[in-house]
Amino acid sequence: MDTMTENDYLIAWGLYAFAAVGCLLVWMRMTRWMWRWLREPLRVLMAVLLFSPTIIDPVKEKFAPAVAITALDLAFKVGNNAWRAISELLMYAMIAFGLYLIFVLIRFPIERASKARKEQAEAARAAARAEDERDGDQPFGGAGDDRYGRPPLPSNPQRGRVEPRL
């Protein structure tokens, strides 16, 4: 019996999905040294190549990985599904890169604001270090009136010492 049952079909797709996730993880490991704006599109492209299905039997609604169908049809000339698989790969790639572009357009201003905040915080720390160095020539440090080294609170006339009533 050479026909594939529904259970065999699902087992094959499960094994393929497991192997594809492994291949994607290896690809991510291989591309981690690259510049970010090159690494991320390559990872998106590999995900599209690994996870895009194409239909092989419209009557039974059977699918297979588009990259495998393309490779088998071109290498062994066993069917006529190569052009359909290539067009579906291109369609999935355009959709994935469109979503990636939207993701980048959302992420870019957030990262720019975060970088500005970090630079501002670094400038404030540098100013505080410069002030500490300036206060370093005092014999007892820059502690002021507080013996624990905390900066003194600004004087506020409404905020005085409150004594409990007996």
Q: What are the domain boundaries of the chain? A: 1-53, 78-136
| Residue 30 confidence (pLDDT) above 60 | yes
Q: Which helix (H) or strand (E) holds 62?
A: strand 62-65
pLDDT of residue 130: 81
User: Which pLDDT score, from 0 to 100, does residue 145 have?
Assistant: 52
- Quick check: 57 and 81 in contact, CB under 8 A? no
pLDDT given at position 77: 83
The partner residues of 126 in beta bridges, in order of sequence, read none
Q: Given the structure tokens 């599209």, which residue do they identify?
A: 48
| Residue-level pLDDT at 67 | 92
CB 54 within 8 A of CB 88: yes
Structure tokens that stand for 16 in this block: 């393929």
138-151: average pLDDT: 54
Query: How far, in Å, CA of 96 to CA of 43, rounded?
Result: 11
DSSP line for 82-144: HHHHHHHHHHHHHHHHHHHHHHHHHHHHHHHHHHHHHHHHHHHHHHHHHHHHHHTTSTTTT-T
What is the pTM assigned to this prediction? 0.70
Amino acid at site 50: L
User: Is the separation of the CB atoms in 96 and 44 below 8 Å?
Assistant: yes
Q: Residue written as tokens 């690994």?
A: 50
pLDDT tens-place string over residues 90-141: 999 999 999 999 999 999 999 999 999 999 999 999 988 887 776 555 555 5
Distance from CA of residue 133 to its chain's centroid? Answer: 41
Q: What is the pLDDT of residue 136?
A: 55
Average pLDDT over residues 65-78: 90
